[in-house]
Amino acid sequence: LLLGTITFLPESFSLATWDIGDEAIEFTSEWYTSHSLEGAESPIYRSIASIMNYQPSMPLPPDAMDPPTNCPHLASGLKEWDDSTLVWTRSDGTTFTGSPIPDGNDIILPPDTSIILRPGILSGTHDSPYGKITIPVGSKLIFDDDGLGITTLHTLAIVLDGGELLAGSPTCRRSHALLDIILHGEYNANSSETSDRHLKEVAGADFEVKGIVVKDSPTSLWDFHGPLYHPTWTRLAAHIPGSVQQETSAPSTRNRVLYLQDCVNWPLDGEILVTTSRVKDTRDYDYNERGMIDSVRCVTIDSRNYGEVTVKEPLMYYHHAGAHEYQSEVALLTRSIVIRGNDKSDPTDITPLTCTSSISGWTTVPCSDIYTTGLGGHTVVLGEGVGRIRGIEFRKMGMTNVLGRYPIHYHHCVTGEEGIVSDNSIRDSYWRAVTAHDVFKLLIERNVAFDIIGHAYYLESGVEEENFLMYNFASFVHAIGGPAVMQNQFAQAWEAYEDLKVPADRTASGFYISNVYNTVIGNAASGGWAGMQLPVFPQPIDPTLRFNGVVPKDRPTLLISGNSVHSSGFFSQNSGAVYAGGSLYWEENDEASTTLKYNAGRVGSIRLTRSSKNDDGSDAWLQITNTTVWLCNVGSTGWGRRSEISGFEVHDFQRRSIFVLFTVWLNEIVMNCRTSNAPRVPDVGTGSVEKALNAGTKWSGFFTYDHLMKHILTNWKISNCGGEARGLYPWAENGDDIEDSTGLITVPVNGFAPEVQLISSGWEYDWDTLGGTNFVYNSSLFFSGSGSDEFHSMQHMSNWVDADGSLTGRTDTGDNIVLGPAAGGEWWHLDSRPNMCETRSDWKFPQILCNRGNRQLASYMTFVDNAGSSSMSGAAQLLHPNESSNNLRKVRQGSMTHFGLEGDGSIDACEPPTPCQETTSRSWDADITGPYDHSFHGGWYLQWDAGTPAHMRIERIQMIEGTTLINAMSLPPSLTAADVSVWAESYTRRHGFLLVENLWEVRNTIDTYYFDDTTSTLYWSIITGYVDTDSTLSWIDREVNGIQTFSRGGLSVVDTTGQSQYRLHIDLDCETDAVTGAFCEEKPSFNVPGMDCPQDMVRVAIDLCGLECELDDSCQENTSHPTETPLTAGPTDSPITNTPTEAPTDAPQTNAPSDAQTDQPSPTSNDPDVRISLLKISNRLLNGGQKWRTAISMTLRDTLWNKISGVSVSVSWMDINDSSNNGVVTKTTRANGKVGLNLPKFNTNEVDGVVVSIDSISVDGYVYNEELNIEYGGVECPIFSNGCQSVIINKPEA
């Protein structure tokens, strides 16, 4: 990637080592005496420029110190332009001798001739240009470099038809000799014409009009190499106070004398640009400033080198430079070689600049019908032609809305690897800056683009790959047709028309990267609709390439790193300054590619959504690293399926720091909400967006989304986000009141029901800038909710796992922290024992914080009938025909209650905004999300206000394999077990569940259900299952089925099963209601199941029983550890216990009470290392009775009775009739100490039974065998039954 050749300038670098100039001048004393603020301010050097210093310095070109060689102007055999012996050819085929006359007639250089152009030899003028100059094969036109005078060429065009156009060479940069090439539209145009715009159709049809054209020939070569200026742009080392708008008390001399972070060798009388330090950047709000260089020095202050550039006139406005914040860029606009359009290039439709906005939030916007008539010059390199363009100033170039006519354009170029676009300045451009179209491995580096119409650096069709865009700068970029003004994430689709040939130009951005398989390093963007846009192309946007099979939107990322953006994204509430979105496309049925469309916002269709893939088809992630953004609405936004944002620093955002959807890793995010510049940025206007930076009442540091997300947030650093920094009441006197949606973290509470989608670790806070630790514990600014509080599901089911407690400050627990809405009541109150949970009631959206322990979070969707949408039951529309789908999310469907609570069966219990208590209401959103570990106790009790569903399906399940999630619901009293059918489905393949005799069996199997006829309660388990082709049911293989867990930074979020991958159906044979036909007519009672705690124990958590004294921490110290009932088992489908009247329990037991259970062994320090606490053997006929299979499951625990994960179990089997038919099955636990093994399928007519025994159990490679005491059932050997015998399992009967 060329990275191996990149070297960074040391801070002690002196320009004298590679270019003319003095050594750095010691300037420390003068700085503090005459230039620093109050005599104490230090200049900003690169390593303190920002908090994380993600922005790399521009490397010195590797050939910077090489002596010049192979200079074309010094070659032998050169002919003079006015050599009387030369024979020239006109376009009509006639010839002439002597110097060509600038009469507008086209001319062709003499064949096989190298001609040198010296200063003063050309006689063309603005009114009398030369015609088109064609350079044929074998000929060269060379510009002299004697350092004296200026060479000015007026011409209609220069065409390299196999010939060469030379000014310097790759090994011979020119001196500072001036060269000016002016491109004209026509000769001696009618004096009434004020613009060349009347040539638009001609220019569109003829590439050679007003251009430099390198034709498709292997001998066509354009070699221009201007002098090296380094760096071409840098940043301020000290702020500019401003002469008109004085913002600081810094000495006024700093309005003329600028201090830069790098020493520079910029030319005297050159023009520089200092970029804006405001949040908006448009023609009618232009705070970029230009200045002419009066002097340049390299000075040393406190042993560090800085550039000192003095301009001739003082700058008017404040330009920011703050240590550990950001600094305005300073760029050199001038070059000694200039290529420009003539004085008839300018657009004529330049007013009015400002129009009244029709969209709330903005009072004014740039007008839509201006700056569409510019017809500047253009350059293009075609096919096999080669262009090496360095150190050129392009001015008045580009033809607005004339396709393919740009200042620098590589078009279907196969020689990209030989080409280079470096060190150039593109300014006052009428369409784009640098365009690569169907080009590969082109180097585009160190360029400066300023005042650009349309996207500046532009990868045009989406097929461009392996190009290098490095250390380029874009600023003051203007939309065509007016900017896309967006209040939310969605936008209308715009079609191309005459004055908007590419509708994506409504979101004109500094960098338009249509294919991310490119190297994009160290670039900077100031202004633009976005600074860097990564649009979505479902196909190449070129009719000739459209059906070549490339899907640009799905290409993997090569390298995007070290880029910065500011003063961007002003016209969209949700689209970031770095924006991975905006879809440019033809409709699929528009096979003729006649109407190009563009949607700037989020688009729901898969075709218009980024889904990155590797070359082998496996999932890839859009990867953006080490980015810095400031002065924006949103720092970064993306709508793609998979993203990794690592290293992202954002300052002074108006609305959100980062907003990226779906599967995302957000790592090393630095959020500095307010800088010292923020108070100096005035309101743009009176609209809510125009004054948002100072209002501070509608911002969200991190805004999560409602559902379908998987977000991992690691290693965030937070500063200057407190109420004082934001100027809010009561922290700031007379400050604005914050709104409910304002806060460091904002959760939407009016969207769809959430799944399990947020986990974080490694958060750090700069307490001094946040008002102290109270910011996290009881500041209303920390956690908020956005939207109406009438919606049940987000109010009650949003969730967040704080994996190390760093997010919430609960780092002393040594446990994961689960956050759930306090409004959800007991649903998120995981543990009732002291110090296990707390409520942060001062947060705007109060949350319950609980230690997670062994619990997991799960989510699934329920649908009451088979006619529902993908997000809501069809019965909902029948029950509430006058409610929209959105309003149905406000309508209560029923409730959910943890086992062991009394609950509330009333149909109006805790409808938002009323807080819930023991029972939590839910709306007609399909999702149910909550905490669980139902291996031994607990479960979710579900209730429907309309009655018991007669037909219910459960799908899109999100949980960890091997864990236990129990559900229950009440059935009408008249129903019996015979009226119940529970079955699973995968792609129409079915597997029936078995009715068992107790709940304990349901907890320890995956395909059983239990009906308690004494309470009319149905119990079943939820799994992420899969029905195989032989109709057997097992946990789903995530890798095979493409639903792998998303893991980054040591954290994980599991994916949901697909809609067709697994569905659980519950059908009841009952009379249904007349309205929907979906609910049993007979109503059930509301009866929450109990916890089934052992004698003398009570519910202490959602999944635990314990002593009552644990609830107030008053237990005696000699209480022993919780135990499980040891089990024994033979060849049976049911678990067997030696205490059948009691269900096993996690509850702690005490030696003190006389009536405590004492018939169970308590673990001691002498107990063996591994014990089997539960064993289950299932025997099943398959394939219509032709085959049979045995499944074995067990729960493993250590001496402290903790469940063990990561344990391998090996089981051997042998045919009872044929000892040669044998085998071994090995399996490793996944979670909660459970391991399940399936023996092979046996033919019923061949195998009557098998002998089975445990061979070994190993932990971390250490094998526990018979001699090492594997305990089961109180007997110290690896067996299935008492007496250390193997077990015989006979084939099942029909």
CA separation for the pair 1175, 916 (Å, rounded): 39
CA separation for the pair 973, 1162 (Å, rounded): 42
Structure tokens at 867: 């006619």
Rg (CA), the chain: 37
For the stretch 105-125, pLDDT in tens is 999 999 999 999 999 999 999
CA separation for the pair 628, 661 (Å, rounded): 20
Count of beta carbons in the 10 Å neighbourhood of residue 866: 12
Q: Please, which residues bridge with residue 1178 across strands?
A: 1191
CA separation for the pair 1136, 415 (Å, rounded): 77
Instruction: Give the closest residue to 827 by CA, choosing from 803, 800, 797.
Output: 797
What DSSP character marks residue 454?
S
Helices (H) and strands (E) in the chain, counts: 11, 88
Q: Spell out, as residue ranges, where the chain has pLDDT lower than 70.
A: 1-22, 189-192, 866-871, 1117-1176, 1197-1203, 1230-1232, 1259-1286, 1294
Per the CB < 8 A criterion, the answer to whether 46 and 306 are in contact is no
Measured between alpha carbons, how far apart are the two ends of the chain, in Å? Answer: 67
Measure Cα distances from 639 to 490, 618, 744, 821, 1243 in Å: 11, 19, 22, 27, 52
Q: What is the pLDDT of residue 1169?
A: 58
Q: What is the pLDDT of residue 146?
A: 86
Q: What is the pLDDT of residue 1285?
A: 52
CA separation for the pair 307, 328 (Å, rounded): 15
Place of tokens 């509080």: 789
Instruction: Give the closest residue to 650 by CA, choosing from 569, 723, 536, 560.
Output: 569
CA separation for the pair 638, 873 (Å, rounded): 30
Q: What is the pLDDT of residue 1173?
A: 61
What DSSP character marks residue 366?
E
Structure tokens at 558: 């090569």
Amino acid letter for position 842: D
Structure tokens at 929: 């999300």
Amino acid letter for position 77: G
Q: Which residues contact 604 (CB under 8 A, 6 or more apart)?
A: none
Structure tokens at 53: 């210093």
CA separation for the pair 441, 714 (Å, rounded): 34
Q: What is the pLDDT of residue 1260?
A: 56
CA separation for the pair 803, 793 (Å, rounded): 23
Give the DSSP per-residue string, 124-171: --SSS-EEEEEEETT-EEEE---SSSEEEEEEEEEEEEB-EEEESBTT
Count of beta carbons in the 10 Å neighbourhood of residue 546: 16
Q: What is the pLDDT of residue 866?
A: 57
Structure tokens at 334: 């001038």
Measure Cα distances from 562 to 71, 525, 640, 646, 1200 in Å: 36, 12, 21, 11, 50
Q: Which residues contact 69 (CB under 8 A, 6 or more apart)?
A: 171, 172
Q: What is the pLDDT of residue 1116?
A: 72
Measure Cα distances from 307 to 25, 47, 241 in Å: 10, 16, 18
What DSSP character marks residue 572?
B
Q: What is the pLDDT of residue 1094?
A: 87
Place of tokens 């609305």: 655
CA separation for the pair 1214, 1223 (Å, rounded): 7
Question: What pTM was computed for the model?
Answer: 0.87
Burial of 908 (0-12, 13-18, 19+ CB in 10 A): exposed
List, in sequence order, every beta strand (DSSP E) within 354-432: 354-356, 364-366, 378-382, 386-390, 392-395, 408-411, 420-422, 425-429
Peptide bond into 231 cis (omega under 30): yes
